[in-house]
Amino acid sequence: MAVGFKVDYYWYQVGTSDFLHAFFSTICIRLENGKWGSVYPKLMKELYQGRLKNQDINEGMEELGRIKKELKKFPPSYVVWDAEDLKLTPPWGNNISSDITDLSNYFVTNDGRDLISVLNEAMEEAKEIHSDIEIDKL
């Protein structure tokens, strides 16, 4: 089942729930020392739990900018598929595109877009139309 970001009636496709969980797991393990939401609470606690309220969008966007900057420091091999089971690996293993140079551009949606850019776009839309952003299933 596909998941994505929902802003009012707009839909931003991501991919599988496992893939989205891997994105958040990578942030938790690589940028928060394994303490979920300790550094990036708006995205890791609120959005990951299903909804980031409109009044918190600016903070979420700020967090996302810092996340992108920090993930640039890690090679693709540092991806974390599941923070609860660090032995799990992506189904494609190390067979990734040469376009992926670090963890900031590792996560690509089902339709070939950069996940961080998609999330940023969704938050921009939420801010513009004064809506919350949700993680939802299609």
pLDDT of residue 122: 98
Residue 58 sits at the vertex; the CA angle it makes with 29 and 136, to the nearest 5 degrees, is 65
pLDDT-derived band at 68 (thresholds 50, 70, 90) equals very high
Handedness of CA 127, 128, 130, 131 (dihedral sign): negative
**How many other CB atoms are found less than 10 A from the CB of residue 40?**
25
Q: pLDDT > 70: what percent of the chain?
A: 100
95, pLDDT greater than 90: no
pLDDT of residue 138: 81
12, pLDDT greater than 80: yes
pLDDT of residue 94: 85
pLDDT of residue 49: 96
Residue spans of the domains in the chain: they are 2-137
pLDDT of residue 1: 75
Beta-strand relationship, 133-137 and 10-16: unpaired
pLDDT of residue 121: 98
